[in-house]
Amino acid sequence: MNCRHCKSECIKKGRQKNGRQKYRCNRCSKYQQVEYVYLAYKKHITISIIRHVKGGSGIRDTSYILGISTTTVIGRIRYISSIIEIPLYTNKFQEYEMDEMYTNVWLDNRKYPTYVSYAINKATREVISFTIGGRDSKTLGKIVDKMLSNYPKQIYTDKWASYRAIITENIHTCRKYRINKIERNHLTMRTQLKRLSKNPFCQSRKYDMLEACLKIYFWG
Protein backbone atom coordinates (compact mmCIF):
# COMPACT_ATOMS: atom_id res chain seq x y z
CA MET A 1 0.00 0.00 0.00
CA ASN A 2 0.97 3.66 -0.39
CA CYS A 3 1.37 5.98 2.59
CA ARG A 4 -1.64 8.16 3.41
CA HIS A 5 0.67 11.08 4.23
CA CYS A 6 3.54 11.15 1.71
CA LYS A 7 2.31 8.58 -0.86
CA SER A 8 5.50 6.51 -0.55
CA GLU A 9 5.55 2.73 -0.41
CA CYS A 10 4.73 1.03 2.91
CA ILE A 11 5.90 -2.34 4.21
CA LYS A 12 4.22 -4.76 6.61
CA LYS A 13 5.23 -4.09 10.21
CA GLY A 14 3.48 -6.09 12.91
CA ARG A 15 -0.17 -6.33 13.84
CA GLN A 16 -2.69 -4.47 15.96
CA LYS A 17 -4.14 -6.01 19.13
CA ASN A 18 -7.24 -6.90 17.15
CA GLY A 19 -5.09 -8.84 14.65
CA ARG A 20 -5.21 -6.32 11.79
CA GLN A 21 -2.07 -5.87 9.72
CA LYS A 22 -0.01 -2.69 10.34
CA TYR A 23 2.12 -0.97 7.72
CA ARG A 24 5.12 1.36 8.11
CA CYS A 25 6.09 4.00 5.57
CA ASN A 26 9.70 3.75 4.31
CA ARG A 27 9.93 7.52 3.96
CA CYS A 28 8.09 9.19 6.88
CA SER A 29 8.13 6.13 9.20
CA LYS A 30 4.44 6.54 10.10
CA TYR A 31 2.37 3.49 10.96
CA GLN A 32 -1.05 2.97 9.36
CA GLN A 33 -3.60 0.43 8.21
CA VAL A 34 -5.30 -0.28 4.91
CA GLU A 35 -8.72 0.21 6.52
CA TYR A 36 -9.63 1.34 10.01
CA VAL A 37 -12.35 -0.27 12.11
CA TYR A 38 -13.01 2.89 14.12
CA LEU A 39 -15.02 5.44 12.18
CA ALA A 40 -13.32 8.39 13.89
CA TYR A 41 -10.15 7.74 11.87
CA LYS A 42 -11.89 8.38 8.55
CA LYS A 43 -11.17 11.70 6.83
CA HIS A 44 -14.76 12.87 6.46
CA ILE A 45 -15.46 12.71 10.20
CA THR A 46 -13.74 16.03 10.98
CA ILE A 47 -15.71 17.84 8.28
CA SER A 48 -18.93 16.22 9.51
CA ILE A 49 -18.28 17.31 13.11
CA ILE A 50 -17.74 20.92 11.97
CA ARG A 51 -21.04 20.82 10.10
CA HIS A 52 -22.86 19.36 13.10
CA VAL A 53 -21.43 22.02 15.45
CA LYS A 54 -22.50 24.81 13.08
CA GLY A 55 -25.88 23.14 12.57
CA GLY A 56 -26.64 23.04 16.29
CA SER A 57 -26.31 19.30 16.96
CA GLY A 58 -25.40 18.39 20.52
CA ILE A 59 -22.56 16.09 21.53
CA ARG A 60 -24.83 13.05 21.88
CA ASP A 61 -26.68 13.84 18.63
CA THR A 62 -23.38 14.04 16.75
CA SER A 63 -22.15 10.85 18.41
CA TYR A 64 -25.31 8.93 17.42
CA ILE A 65 -25.41 10.20 13.82
CA LEU A 66 -21.71 9.60 13.09
CA GLY A 67 -21.50 6.35 15.04
CA ILE A 68 -18.59 7.41 17.27
CA SER A 69 -18.33 7.84 21.04
CA THR A 70 -19.19 11.08 22.84
CA THR A 71 -15.65 11.21 24.25
CA THR A 72 -14.24 11.13 20.72
CA VAL A 73 -16.61 13.90 19.60
CA ILE A 74 -15.58 16.13 22.53
CA GLY A 75 -11.89 15.47 21.92
CA ARG A 76 -12.21 16.13 18.20
CA ILE A 77 -14.09 19.43 18.78
CA ARG A 78 -11.30 20.61 21.08
CA TYR A 79 -8.68 19.58 18.54
CA ILE A 80 -10.44 21.32 15.63
CA SER A 81 -10.74 24.47 17.71
CA SER A 82 -7.04 24.40 18.62
CA ILE A 83 -5.90 24.38 14.96
CA ILE A 84 -8.27 27.11 13.74
CA GLU A 85 -6.36 30.28 12.94
CA ILE A 86 -8.26 33.42 13.91
CA PRO A 87 -8.44 35.66 10.81
CA LEU A 88 -6.18 38.70 10.94
CA TYR A 89 -8.57 41.59 10.45
CA THR A 90 -6.80 44.68 9.05
CA ASN A 91 -9.53 46.73 7.34
CA LYS A 92 -9.25 50.36 8.39
CA PHE A 93 -11.93 52.97 9.05
CA GLN A 94 -14.87 50.57 9.34
CA GLU A 95 -18.08 50.71 11.36
CA TYR A 96 -18.65 48.04 14.02
CA GLU A 97 -21.45 46.72 16.20
CA MET A 98 -20.72 45.17 19.58
CA ASP A 99 -23.02 43.45 22.06
CA GLU A 100 -23.25 40.63 24.62
CA MET A 101 -25.36 37.47 24.85
CA TYR A 102 -26.40 36.05 28.21
CA THR A 103 -26.05 32.33 28.85
CA ASN A 104 -25.12 29.95 31.67
CA VAL A 105 -22.30 27.49 32.24
CA TRP A 106 -23.07 24.63 34.65
CA LEU A 107 -20.06 23.47 36.66
CA ASP A 108 -20.76 20.66 39.13
CA ASN A 109 -24.51 21.34 38.72
CA ARG A 110 -24.06 24.96 39.79
CA LYS A 111 -25.16 27.76 37.48
CA TYR A 112 -22.60 30.40 36.54
CA PRO A 113 -24.05 33.35 34.59
CA THR A 114 -21.84 34.09 31.60
CA TYR A 115 -21.77 36.57 28.74
CA VAL A 116 -20.59 35.90 25.19
CA SER A 117 -19.39 39.28 23.93
CA TYR A 118 -18.37 39.85 20.34
CA ALA A 119 -18.10 42.49 17.62
CA ILE A 120 -18.99 42.41 13.94
CA ASN A 121 -18.22 44.58 10.94
CA LYS A 122 -21.44 46.48 10.27
CA ALA A 123 -21.14 46.16 6.48
CA THR A 124 -19.88 42.59 6.06
CA ARG A 125 -21.06 41.04 9.39
CA GLU A 126 -17.66 39.42 9.86
CA VAL A 127 -16.91 38.52 13.49
CA ILE A 128 -13.86 40.48 14.63
CA SER A 129 -13.32 38.90 18.04
CA PHE A 130 -15.19 37.42 20.99
CA THR A 131 -14.75 36.81 24.72
CA ILE A 132 -16.50 34.68 27.33
CA GLY A 133 -16.93 35.95 30.88
CA GLY A 134 -18.35 39.06 32.50
CA ARG A 135 -19.32 42.46 31.17
CA ASP A 136 -16.60 44.42 32.94
CA SER A 137 -14.30 46.90 31.22
CA LYS A 138 -11.33 44.52 31.30
CA THR A 139 -13.15 41.71 29.47
CA LEU A 140 -14.89 43.94 26.93
CA GLY A 141 -11.69 45.91 26.45
CA LYS A 142 -10.02 42.92 24.76
CA ILE A 143 -12.48 43.23 21.87
CA VAL A 144 -12.47 47.02 21.83
CA ASP A 145 -8.66 47.12 21.63
CA LYS A 146 -8.77 44.97 18.50
CA MET A 147 -11.25 47.35 16.86
CA LEU A 148 -9.30 50.45 17.92
CA SER A 149 -6.14 49.06 16.31
CA ASN A 150 -7.92 49.41 12.94
CA TYR A 151 -8.92 53.04 13.49
CA PRO A 152 -12.71 52.51 13.47
CA LYS A 153 -14.99 55.09 11.92
CA GLN A 154 -17.73 54.34 14.47
CA ILE A 155 -18.53 51.72 17.13
CA TYR A 156 -22.18 51.06 17.96
CA THR A 157 -23.18 49.50 21.29
CA ASP A 158 -25.99 49.50 23.81
CA LYS A 159 -25.99 51.81 26.85
CA TRP A 160 -23.99 49.52 29.15
CA ALA A 161 -21.75 51.72 31.32
CA SER A 162 -18.52 49.80 30.65
CA TYR A 163 -18.53 50.87 27.01
CA ARG A 164 -18.40 54.54 27.93
CA ALA A 165 -15.27 53.90 29.98
CA ILE A 166 -13.27 52.21 27.20
CA ILE A 167 -14.53 53.83 23.97
CA THR A 168 -13.91 57.49 23.27
CA GLU A 169 -17.01 59.61 22.78
CA ASN A 170 -16.16 60.79 19.25
CA ILE A 171 -16.41 57.25 17.78
CA HIS A 172 -19.01 55.79 20.16
CA THR A 173 -22.74 55.66 19.40
CA CYS A 174 -25.31 54.01 21.68
CA ARG A 175 -28.59 55.23 20.20
CA LYS A 176 -31.61 53.02 19.60
CA TYR A 177 -31.76 50.70 16.53
CA ARG A 178 -28.01 51.08 15.86
CA ILE A 179 -27.15 47.45 16.73
CA ASN A 180 -30.00 45.71 14.90
CA LYS A 181 -27.67 43.49 12.85
CA ILE A 182 -25.81 42.00 15.79
CA GLU A 183 -29.06 41.52 17.74
CA ARG A 184 -30.47 39.67 14.73
CA ASN A 185 -27.31 37.59 14.78
CA HIS A 186 -27.99 36.73 18.44
CA LEU A 187 -31.29 35.11 17.48
CA THR A 188 -29.65 33.12 14.68
CA MET A 189 -26.93 31.89 17.01
CA ARG A 190 -29.42 30.82 19.68
CA THR A 191 -31.27 28.83 17.02
CA GLN A 192 -28.20 27.17 15.53
CA LEU A 193 -26.14 26.67 18.71
CA LYS A 194 -28.35 24.87 21.23
CA ARG A 195 -25.83 25.47 24.04
CA LEU A 196 -26.76 29.18 23.82
CA SER A 197 -30.48 28.50 24.24
CA LYS A 198 -32.35 29.25 27.46
CA ASN A 199 -32.96 25.56 28.15
CA PRO A 200 -30.58 24.55 30.99
CA PHE A 201 -30.37 20.98 29.66
CA CYS A 202 -28.74 22.31 26.46
CA GLN A 203 -26.32 24.79 28.02
CA SER A 204 -22.58 24.19 28.32
CA ARG A 205 -21.00 22.29 31.19
CA LYS A 206 -17.49 23.67 30.63
CA TYR A 207 -16.12 27.03 29.52
CA ASP A 208 -13.57 25.52 27.14
CA MET A 209 -16.24 23.60 25.22
CA LEU A 210 -18.34 26.75 24.84
CA GLU A 211 -15.28 28.62 23.56
CA ALA A 212 -14.32 25.78 21.19
CA CYS A 213 -17.81 25.57 19.66
CA LEU A 214 -17.97 29.35 19.20
CA LYS A 215 -14.57 29.36 17.54
CA ILE A 216 -15.71 26.66 15.11
CA TYR A 217 -19.01 28.47 14.51
CA PHE A 218 -17.37 31.82 13.76
CA TRP A 219 -14.27 30.75 11.84
CA GLY A 220 -14.36 26.98 11.24
How far, in Å, CA of 162 to CA of 141, rounded?
9
At 37, the pLDDT band (50, 70, 90 cuts) reads low
Sheet holding 154-156: strands in order across? 127-133, 110-121, 95-107, 154-156, 172-173
Provide the CATH number for the domain formed by 95-219 in this structure.
3.30.420.10
Q: Where are the domains of the chain?
A: 1-37, 40-83, 95-219
pLDDT of 41 over the 70 cut: no
How far, in Å, CA of 136 to CA of 216, rounded?
25
pLDDT at 149: 94
Per-residue pLDDT of 190-201, as tens digits, reads 999 989 988 998
Per-residue pLDDT of 65-123, as tens digits, reads 988 889 999 999 999 999 999 888 889 999 999 999 999 999 988 999 999 999 999 99
Q: What is the DSSP letter of 2?
A: B
Per-residue pLDDT of 157-215, as tens digits, reads 999 999 999 999 999 999 889 999 999 999 999 999 989 988 998 899 999 999 999 99
Q: Do the beta carbons of residue 152 and residue 93 sit within 8 Å? A: yes
Helix (H, G, I), strand (E, B) or coil at 42: coil
- The whole-model pTM stands at 0.82
Residue 173: burial class (beta carbons within 10 Å; 0-12, 13-18, 19+): middle
Instruction: Tell me, rounded to whole angstroms, the distance of Cα 78 from its chain centroid.
Output: 9
